[in-house]
């Protein structure tokens, strides 16, 4: 029954004072949420990764051997106890030429009017890919898209490359090997179809590790099936340990489990690697021997070719001398010929004079001949006339002959008629005695044949044409006109004799007429006929007579003509004879000239002959010259050849020297390798050898470290406040406790109420806090970390039993403990004491009052406030601490943001002020000048600086703190100021590069623990080590740099650097402009990559945006802390001082004045809190920054004034907010309280 | 001419859930300036209600309260505060000194908000605490504390001094001394002093005695010749 009353009382207490209950609950919620939430981040991070690795069957350890691993090795590992799965992996690093690929795509895309700009903009053309063979049991790819490769020409690629370069499933990739090697050395295929896109467990960040290709950083991975790889030995064996998957990564149990199996591998590794060693060594030795013999034969070949070359050179020398001699001879011959030629030309001149005179004589002769010919022509004309005349004469003769013929015809008729008459008369005579017949002989004329015979010799004298007259066949004078053609004449003259004289025909005609007369009758008839015939005869005879007369006259005329003609003929003949004589003279002269001519011709011939001889000699000489020239040419050619031969020999010597040096070095290396192989070893590497895994683990540890500090402070404050609240509550119940005690309740029963009260509030608060904190906070913080660990696919935020219990227990300990303590404190008193009001606290002077000056200046109200604070020290401490915690949290939050943003802003805004890096392709030793010219032409580039950049390991001897850093050798120091700002961080004092040493970056200096003036060593990739002095330490936030000038480099490395980068400053930093610029320069052969700083700075600022989440968490936590703490404490304060405040009211203080009376204390406490918080915040911020920062990064150490301001303002705002609530609370205080007795 | 203080039909009703309590049920009385008044009555008679209303700590439900001719019943909260600050001096049963202020500072606390205060040290001398100026209340005896309280009330030079059982927490002798002080102040300074008590024995020392019972004025009696405190025994 009594219990029921108490229980009722318990709930009544809660109900009555619900705000107080709530405030305890809330502060516990907050504390637990923040503590368990932040503390859970580390285990949640570890669990998330563990889960992801479990999903991917990520290897527990791997075995690497520089000699490669065989199938037997794999089998040996597989057979070990505790090995769940082991798989050999082939690896290869190759280039992927995106440029050619994307160009096509770009075109296509341009056609499709898609914007490939952004994707292509970042293309550096050539990617460095790490190829892995596909595994089935360990290290599986987490596919985000597509499927695993099934055929040899299929692959899965890194999600990162796919995203960055816009690659998609279904596209093809083209692989190429580095210069000097072939893709086929590694793979059976060069073209791969992307069938899937995925993530590999070891790559959590954007970093893909290092490679020997390109600039040394891999861009992403690619996975193909095993058959594609040419290699026979595995690069590594990935091992999954049995039962390890079930264990939590990063945990001790896991580590032990894996270690156990690793130890077992360690046991067999000696034997396995020795076997492999023997095999390799044998092979290597064989190779070594081969190489040596090759080297020797190469040397021999080289020697031979040198000998040959020397011989050739000697031969050539001899040939050259010969040619020289011949050359001299030809020169001599040429002079003789020239002399002869001169003599010859003189002779020729004389000859030509002779020829001229001959030609004159000839021309005279010709004239004479022409004259003669003209005369001949005249004669010919006359002869022609004569001929005509002869023809006419002939005609006349013909006509006469005709007439004579007619006459003879007539005479024949007459004859006939006379015959017939005679017959007739005979008949008659017969009749009568017959009649006699008379006959007549024909008449002949003389022929003219004789004439012709006379003419012939005449014409023959002129006729023979003399060819001897012509001097030269070429210049043959015109044929003299043919002399008269007397030859025709005889033909003409033949005719006249045929004009036979016609016989007198009249006699014969008359003959036959009177022949046929028969007897009597016939007689009469005969007589008639005879008469008739007689008449006929007489007429005919008459006719004949006339005719004869005519004929005779004609004959006479003819004769006359004949005579005339004969005379003429004779005349002509004489003339012809003269002509012939003349012609004969001419002929004689002509033959004289001909003789001269012949003489001339002879001389000429002689001359020509000698000329010809000379020409021949000359020709010979010329031929000789030509031959000589040819020889000379040949010689030159031979010399050239020799030179070439020598050059190529030298080149060969050089290259073979290099080659041989290389070969020798290689040989030596191999020898050394072989020698070093004495201790063959398997490297058994656990997950910590995976860079991202290790850094993830470190990050988790870091946040764990932060989680151990910051939330603990928070939690402490919360615990203190809840403690104070509970204590106050118990104290308020003092009288009631006294009554209960007086009524006979035992201590326990009385205390239970308060303990339960505290417990209930705490447990409810803790449960809410656990759930909220552990679900929300890790999620927010891990998500922020996922900016970096972008490939973390799993996010797990389970409730952590440990942190849940721990925080709950601490919370309960605080509150319940406080309740116990307060109860104990009160309950040990006797009821009488309990029921009396607690003795009022003594007011007393405080130390400040000793400070008269200050105290006298103080307003009375301030005095009261100060004394009040001094009086309630517990409250003061808690309030100040609460506000300080709030302030510190805010400062940490904003400070974190400041410090991290500094990395991007300062590094790329103030320190590295260049806009881009153009990396040169130095493999071909291309001159940088080409690029310089291009820059000079390009308006977009305002300034450029040649630098030599190289990665070196820097360290201090015997200090074991070697760090990798980028060494920059700067070509122009004065120009460099536009590109790098070297300055001391604290003082801002600029630093100058000196010839005697280097300037290193701050974080590097800190990690190596060196100061200006110390000496450090630098070791390059070839393990060449130099010592340099540090002359300055410069502000820097991202990566480690070592700057030096050319002179310093020269001092240290004894030579000038081979500049391999150009830093540029551009005019336009817009994305499009930069993409265009990158494309333009990438197109140049001398450029191997272009990187713009803007992109990097942007990425960092993007990362920061996500850090805002963490900052907001902190701000909200700070605000809640401030509110809860201040509210609680103010609440206690007001409750405690209710009577006092009521009295003030009664005394006539306005509400505002009463509030101010209380607020004044709060203001002072807030100020103190802020000041302490400032200090605390700065310290904690530094601690957090230093624990959270990575080796490569230096976060800003400074918190900027806006952050201070914001923190202060926010703290004040929270404080004012809470105090505003107090105002209403104060207003509610009833003045009647003042009349009551002290409880 | 109206009295210096006059209550006319003042009622005060408290609504406590279902129950209505008439703490003052039409109280009317007058007080003249410079009088020493004792309001007396048993517990629950309405003494405190009268004190609250007269002191401006509470307002009446109905009726009028004239103080120096002004009806403070119509005052709003701010005016009431000013009224308390300027016109009324309180002396509480439990002194209600501010614990962490010295005796002098407690007096100064009151003076600080008052327009026309008296000099603090002088008042402290008058109440006989010149030796204890810098002592904290906890270092003073009850009587001394009450003297400080009286000094605090007097220093304001109020129109009206209200004392709520000023001797309630004090022993006989001390109580007497306090009452003597109050009486002396009234006489020497012409202060109007109202003492609220349940102690009937004090009535002879008053100029005017107001008997309250059940929220009503039972009787008002005037003492033409009040006794000195020294002569009163209880």
Mean pLDDT of A92-106: 63
Q: Is B4 on the interface with A (CB under 8 A)?
A: no
Tokens describing residue A863: 């005095």
Mean pLDDT of A237-262: 87
pLDDT at A518 over 60: no
Own/partner contacts of A313-317, CB < 8 Å, gap of 24 or more, are A313/A642, A313/A646, A316/A635, A316/A638, A316/A639, A316/A642
Chain A CB contacts of B90 under 8 Å are 1146-1147
Of A860, A863, A1146, the CB nearest to B90: A1146
A318 contact partners, CB below 8 Å, separation of at least 6: none
Output the pLDDT for position A842. Answer: 60
Sequence-ordered strand ranges (E) for A159-225: 172-176, 191-199, 220-224
* Structural contact between residues A1123 and A1218, judged by C-beta atoms closer than 8 angstroms: yes
Q: Is B164 on the interface with A (CB under 8 A)?
A: yes
Output the pLDDT for position A911. Answer: 86
Mean pLDDT of A190-198: 90
**From CA A372, how far away is CA A481, in angstroms rounded?**
9
Q: Is A912 exposed, middle or buried (0-12, 13-18, 19+ CB in 10 A)?
A: buried
Q: Is the dihedral of CA B135, B136, B141, B142 positive or negative?
A: positive
| Element spanning A294, H or E | helix A252-432
Give the minimum alpha-carbon distance from A1140 to chain B in angstroms, rounded to a whole number: 6
Say if the Cβ atoms of A843 and B137 lie within 8 Å. Answer: yes
Q: What are phi and psi of A859, to 5 degrees?
A: -65, 155
Three-state SS string over chain B comes to CCCCEEEEEEEEEEEECCEEEEEEEEEEEEECCCCEEEEECCCCCCHHHHHHHHCCCCCCCEEEEEECCEEHHHCCHHHHHHHHHHHEEEECCCCCCCCCCCHHHHHHHHHHCCCCCCCHHHHHHHCCCCCCCCCCHHHCCHHHHHHHHHHHHHHCCCCEEEEECCCCCCCHHHHHHHHHHHHHHHHHHCCEEEEEECCHHHHHHCCEEEEEECCEEEEEEECCCCCCHHHCCC
- Each residue's pLDDT tens digit, A428-479: 777 655 444 444 444 444 444 444 444 544 444 444 444 444 444 444 444 4
Mean pLDDT of A1111-1120: 80
Mean pLDDT of A970-992: 86
Chain A CB contacts of B84 under 8 Å are 1146-1148
What letter would DSSP give residue A967? E
- Each residue's pLDDT tens digit, A37-61: 888 888 888 889 898 988 888 889 9
Of A1148, A1153, A1232, the CB nearest to B84: A1148
Give A1226's pLDDT tier (boundaries 50, 70, 90): confident
- Each residue's pLDDT tens digit, A729-785: 777 777 778 888 888 888 788 888 888 888 888 899 999 999 888 888 888 888 877
Mutate to test the interface with B, among A839, A1145, A1146, A1238 (most CBs of B within 10 A): A1146
- Each residue's pLDDT tens digit, A872-920: 777 888 888 888 888 888 888 888 888 877 777 788 888 888 888 888 8
Tokens describing residue A90: 């082939």
Mutate to test the interface with B, among A860, A866, A1136, A1147 (most CBs of B within 10 A): A1147
Highest mean pLDDT: which of A435-444, A513-522, A777-786, A1163-1172? A1163-1172
| b/e code A603-629 from CB counts within 10 Å (16+ = b) | ebeebeeebeebeebbeebbebbeebe
Output the pLDDT for position A839. Answer: 61
Output the pLDDT for position A1031. Answer: 92
Output the pLDDT for position B1. Answer: 45
Q: Is B113 on the interface with A (CB under 8 A)?
A: yes
pLDDT at A1229 over 60: yes
Predicted structure pTM score: 0.60
Say if the Cβ atoms of B85 and A1147 lie within 8 Å. Answer: yes
Nearest 10 degrees: Cα torsion A1047, A1048, A1052, A1056: -40
Please give the ipTM for the structure prediction: 0.88
A721 closest CA partner among A765, A659, A691, A690: A765
Number of Cβ pairs < 8 A linking chain A and chain B: 95
Give the minimum alpha-carbon distance from A842 to chain B in angstroms, rounded to a whole number: 6
Give the minimum alpha-carbon distance from A1156 to chain B in angstroms, rounded to a whole number: 13
Chain B CB contacts of A1229 under 8 Å are none
> Cα separations (Å) of A918 from A915, A936, A1100?
10, 15, 21
Q: Specify the 3-state DSSP secondary structure of A683.
A: strand
Give A196's pLDDT tier (boundaries 50, 70, 90): very high
What letter would DSSP give residue A919? E
Say if the Cβ atoms of A1140 and B98 lie within 8 Å. Answer: yes
Which segment of A485-499, A516-530, A780-794 scores lowest on mean pLDDT?
A485-499
A1047 closest CA partner among A993, A1009, A1084: A993
Output the pLDDT for position A403. Answer: 78
* Structural contact between residues A915 and A1065, judged by C-beta atoms closer than 8 angstroms: yes
Of B108, B114, B136, the CB nearest to A842: B136
Say if the Cβ atoms of B57 and A1231 lie within 8 Å. Answer: yes
- Each residue's pLDDT tens digit, A579-613: 888 888 888 888 888 888 888 888 888 888 888 88
Residue of B nearest to A1147 (CA): B85
- Each residue's pLDDT tens digit, A1020-1029: 766 788 889 9
| Element spanning A396, H or E | helix A252-432
* Structural contact between residues B174 and B18, judged by C-beta atoms closer than 8 angstroms: no
Q: Specify the 3-state DSSP secondary structure of A94.
A: strand
Output the pLDDT for position A299. Answer: 80
Output the pLDDT for position A103. Answer: 44
Output the pLDDT for position A768. Answer: 92
A13 contact partners, CB below 8 Å, separation of at least 6: A753, A757
pLDDT at A1201 over 60: yes
* Structural contact between residues A1083 and A936, judged by C-beta atoms closer than 8 angstroms: no
Which segment of A445-454, A585-594, A814-823, A860-869 scores lowest on mean pLDDT?
A445-454
Say if the Cβ atoms of B55 and A1146 lie within 8 Å. Answer: yes
pLDDT at A507 over 50: no
Say if the Cβ atoms of B108 and A1139 lie within 8 Å. Answer: no
Residues of A with CB under 8 A from a CB of B: 840-844, 860-861, 863-864, 867-868, 870-871, 1139-1140, 1143-1151, 1153, 1231-1232, 1234-1238
Say if the Cβ atoms of B136 and A1150 lie within 8 Å. Answer: no
The stretches in chain B having pLDDT less than 50 are 1
- Each residue's pLDDT tens digit, A128-178: 888 999 988 888 888 888 999 998 889 999 988 888 888 889 888 888 887
A34 closest CA partner among A1125, A1203, A1196: A1125
Tabulate helix, strand, coil % of chain A (nearest 5): 65, 10, 20
Q: Is B59 on the interface with A (CB under 8 A)?
A: no
Strand-pairing partners, residue B197, are: B40
pLDDT at A322 over 80: yes
């Amino acid at each position: 029954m009594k219990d029921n009353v108490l229980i009722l009382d318990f709930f009544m207490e809660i109900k009555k004072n619900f705000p107080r209950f709530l405030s305890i609950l809330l502060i516990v919620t907050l504390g637990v949420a923040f503590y368990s939430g932040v503390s859970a981040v580390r285990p949640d991070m570890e669990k998330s990764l563990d889960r992801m690795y479990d999903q991917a069957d990520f290897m527990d350890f791997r075995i690497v051997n520089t000699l490669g691993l065989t199938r037997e090795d794999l089998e040996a590992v597989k057979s070990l106890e505790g090995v769940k799965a082991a798989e050999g992996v082939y690896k290869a690093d190759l280039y992927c030429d995106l440029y050619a690929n994307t160009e096509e795509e770009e075109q296509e895309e341009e056609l499709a009017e898609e914007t490939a700009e952004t994707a292509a903009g970042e293309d550096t053309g050539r990617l460095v890919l790490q190829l892995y063979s596909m595994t089935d049991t360990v290290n599986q790819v987490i596919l985000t898209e597509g499927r695993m490769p099934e055929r040899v020409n299929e692959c899965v690629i890194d999600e990162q490359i796919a995203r960055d370069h816009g690659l998609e499933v279904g596209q093809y990739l083209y692989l190429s090997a580095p210069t000097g090697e072939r893709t086929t050395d590694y793979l059976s295929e060069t073209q791969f179809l992307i069938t899937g896109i995925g993530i590999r467990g070891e790559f959590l960040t954007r970093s893909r590790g290092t490679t020997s290709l390109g600039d040394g950083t891999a861009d992403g991975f690619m996975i193909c099936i095993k058959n594609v790889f040419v290699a026979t030995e595995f690069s590594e064996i990935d091992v999954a340990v049995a039962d390890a998957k079930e264990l939590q990564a990063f945990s001790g149990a896991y580590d032990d489990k894996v270690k156990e199996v690793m130890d077992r591998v360690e046991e067999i590794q000696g034997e396995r690697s020795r076997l492999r060693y023997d095999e390799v060594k044998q092979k290597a030795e064989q190779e070594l021997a081969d190489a040596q013999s090759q080297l020797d034969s190469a040397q021999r070949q080289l020697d031979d070719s040198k000998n040959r070359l020397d011989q050739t050179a000697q031969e050539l020398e001899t040939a050259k001398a010969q040619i020289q001699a011949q050359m001299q001879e030809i020169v001599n011959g040429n002079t003789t010929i020239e002399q002869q030629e001169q003599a010859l030309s003189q002779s020729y001149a004389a000859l030509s004079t002779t020829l001229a005179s001959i030609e004159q004589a000839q021309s005279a002769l010709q004239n004479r001949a022409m004259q003669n010919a003209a005369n001949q022509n005249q004669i010919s004309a006359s002869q022609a006339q004569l001929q005509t005349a002869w023809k006419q004469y002939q005609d006349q003769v013909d006509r006469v002959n005709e007439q004579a013929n007619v006459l003879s015809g007539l005479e024949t008729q007459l004859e006939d008629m006379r015959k017939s008459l005679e017959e007739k008369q005979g008949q008659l005579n017969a009749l009568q005695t017959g009649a006699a017949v008379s006959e007549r002989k024909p008449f002949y004329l003389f022929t003219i044949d004789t004439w012709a015979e006379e003419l012939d010799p005449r014409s023959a004298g002129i006729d023979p044409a003399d060819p001897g007259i012509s001097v030269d066949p070429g210049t043959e004078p015109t044929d003299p006109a043919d002399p008269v053609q007397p030859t025709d004449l005889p033909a003409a003259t033949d005719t006249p004799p045929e004009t036979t004289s016609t016989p007198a025909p009249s006699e014969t005609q008359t003959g036959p007429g009177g022949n046929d007369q028969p007897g009597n009758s016939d007689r009469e008839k005969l007589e008639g006929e005879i008469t008739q015939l007689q008449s006929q005869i007489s007429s005919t005879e008459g006719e004949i007579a006339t005719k004869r007369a005519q004929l005779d006259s004609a004959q006479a005329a003819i004769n006359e003509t004949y005579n005339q003609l004969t005379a003429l003929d004779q005349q002509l003949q004489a003339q012809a004879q003269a002509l012939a004589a003349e012609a004969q003279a001419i002929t004689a002269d002509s033959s004289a000239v001909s003789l001269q001519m012949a003489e001339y011709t002879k001389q000429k011939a002689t001359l020509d002959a000698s000329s010809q001889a000379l020409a021949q000699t000359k020709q010979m000489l010329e031929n000789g010259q030509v031959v000589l020239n040819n020889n000379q040419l040949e010689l030159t050619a031979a010399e050239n050849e020799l030179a070439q031969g020598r050059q190529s020999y030298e080149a060969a010597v050089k290259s073979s020297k290099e080659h041989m040096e290389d070969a020798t070095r290689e040989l030596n290396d191999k020898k050394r390798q072989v020698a070093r192989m004495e201790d063959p070893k398997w490297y058994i590497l656990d997950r910590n050898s995976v860079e991202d895994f290790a850094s993830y683990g470190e990050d988790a540890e870091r946040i764990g470290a932060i989680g151990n500090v910051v939330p603990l402070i928070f939690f402490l404050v919360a615990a203190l406040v809840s403690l104070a609240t509970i204590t106050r509550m118990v104290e308020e119940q003092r009288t009631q406790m006294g009554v209960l005690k007086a009524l006979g309740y035992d201590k326990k029963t009385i205390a239970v109420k308060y303990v339960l009260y505290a417990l209930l509030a705490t447990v409810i608060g803790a449960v809410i806090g656990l759930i909220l904190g552990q679900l929300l906070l890790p999620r927010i913080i891990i998500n922020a970390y996922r900016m970096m660990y972008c490939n973390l696919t799993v996010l797990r935020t389970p409730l952590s039993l440990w942190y849940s219990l721990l925080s709950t227990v601490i919370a309960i300990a605080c509150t319940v403990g406080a309740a116990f303590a307060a109860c104990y404190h009160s309950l040990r008193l006797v009821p009488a004491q309990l029921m009396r009001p607690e003795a009022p606290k003594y007011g007393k002077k405080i130390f400040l009052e000793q400070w008269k000056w200050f105290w006298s200046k103080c307003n009375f109200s301030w005095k009261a406030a100060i004394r009040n604070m001094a009086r309630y020290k517990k409250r003061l401490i808690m309030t100040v601490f609460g506000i300080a915690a709030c302030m510190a949290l805010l400062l940490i939050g904003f400070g974190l943001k400041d410090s991290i943003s500094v990395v991007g802003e300062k590094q790329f805004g103030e320190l590295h002020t260049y806009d881009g890096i153009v990396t040169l392709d130095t493999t071909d030793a291309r001159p940088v000048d080409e690029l310089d010219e291009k820059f000079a032409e390009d308006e977009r580039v305002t300034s450029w600086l040649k630098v030599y950049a190289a990665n070196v390991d820097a360290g201090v001897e015997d200090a074991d703190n070697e760090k990798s850093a980028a060494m920059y050798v700067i070509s122009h120091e004065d120009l460099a100021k536009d590109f790098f700002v070297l300055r001391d961080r604290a003082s801002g004092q600029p630093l100058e590069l000196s010839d005697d040493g280097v300037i290193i970056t701050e974080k590097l200096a800190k990690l190596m623990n060196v100061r200006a003036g110390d000496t450090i060593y630098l070791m390059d990739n070839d393990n060449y080590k130099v010592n340099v002095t540090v002359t300055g330490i410069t502000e820097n936030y991202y990566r480690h740099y070592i700057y030096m000038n050319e002179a310093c480099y020269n001092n240290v490395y004894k030579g000038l650097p081979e500049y391999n980068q150009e830093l540029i400053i551009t005019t336009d930093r817009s994305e499009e402009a930069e993409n265009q610029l990158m494309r333009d320069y990438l197109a140049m052969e001398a450029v191997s990559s272009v990187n713009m700083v803007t992109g990097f700075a942007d990425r960092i600022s993007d990362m920061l945006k996500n850090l805002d989440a963490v900052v907001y968490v902190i701000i909200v936590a700070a605000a809640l802390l401030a509110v809860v703490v201040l509210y609680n404490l103010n609440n206690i304060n007001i409750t405690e001082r209710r009577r006092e405040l009521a009295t003030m009211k009664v005394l006539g203080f306005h509400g505002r004045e009463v509030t101010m009376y209380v607020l004044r204390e709060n203001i002072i406490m807030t100020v103190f809190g802020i000041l302490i918080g400032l200090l605390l915040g700065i310290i904690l911020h530094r601690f957090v920054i230093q624990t959270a920062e990575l080796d490569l990064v230096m976060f800003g150490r400074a918190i900027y004034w806006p952050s201070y301001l914001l923190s202060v303002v926010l703290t004040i705002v929270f404080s004012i907010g809470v105090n505003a609530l107090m105002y209403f609370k104060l207003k509610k205080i009833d003045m009647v309280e003042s009349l009551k007795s002290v409880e | 001419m109206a009295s210096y203080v006059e209550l006319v039909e003042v009622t005060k009703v408290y609504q406590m859930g279902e129950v209505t309590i008439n703490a003052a049920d039409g109280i009317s009385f007058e007080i003249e300036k410079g009088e020493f008044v004792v309001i007396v009555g048993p517990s629950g008679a309405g003494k405190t209600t009268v004190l609250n209303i007269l002191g401006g700590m509470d307002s009446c439900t109905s009726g009028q309260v004239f103080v120096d001719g002004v009806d403070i019943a119509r005052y709003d909260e701010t005016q009431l505060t000013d009224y308390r600050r300027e016109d009324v001096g309180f002396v509480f049963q439990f002194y209600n000194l501010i614990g962490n202020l010295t005796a002098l500072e407690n007096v100064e606390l009151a003076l600080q908000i008052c327009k026309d205060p008296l000099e603090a040290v002088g008042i402290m001398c008058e109440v006989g605490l010149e030796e204890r100026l810098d002592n904290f209340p906890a270092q003073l005896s009850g009587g001394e504390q009450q003297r400080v309280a009286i000094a605090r009330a007097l220093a304001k030079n109020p129109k009206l001094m209200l004392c709520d059982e000023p001797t309630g927490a004090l022993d006989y002798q001390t109580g007497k001394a306090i009452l003597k002080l109050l009486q002396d102040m009234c006489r020497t300074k012409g202060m109007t002093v109202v003492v609220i008590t349940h102690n009937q024995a004090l009535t002879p020392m008053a100029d005017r005695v107001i008997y309250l019972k059940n929220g009503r004025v039972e009787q008002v009696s005037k003492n033409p010749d009040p006794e000195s405190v020294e002569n009163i025994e209880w």
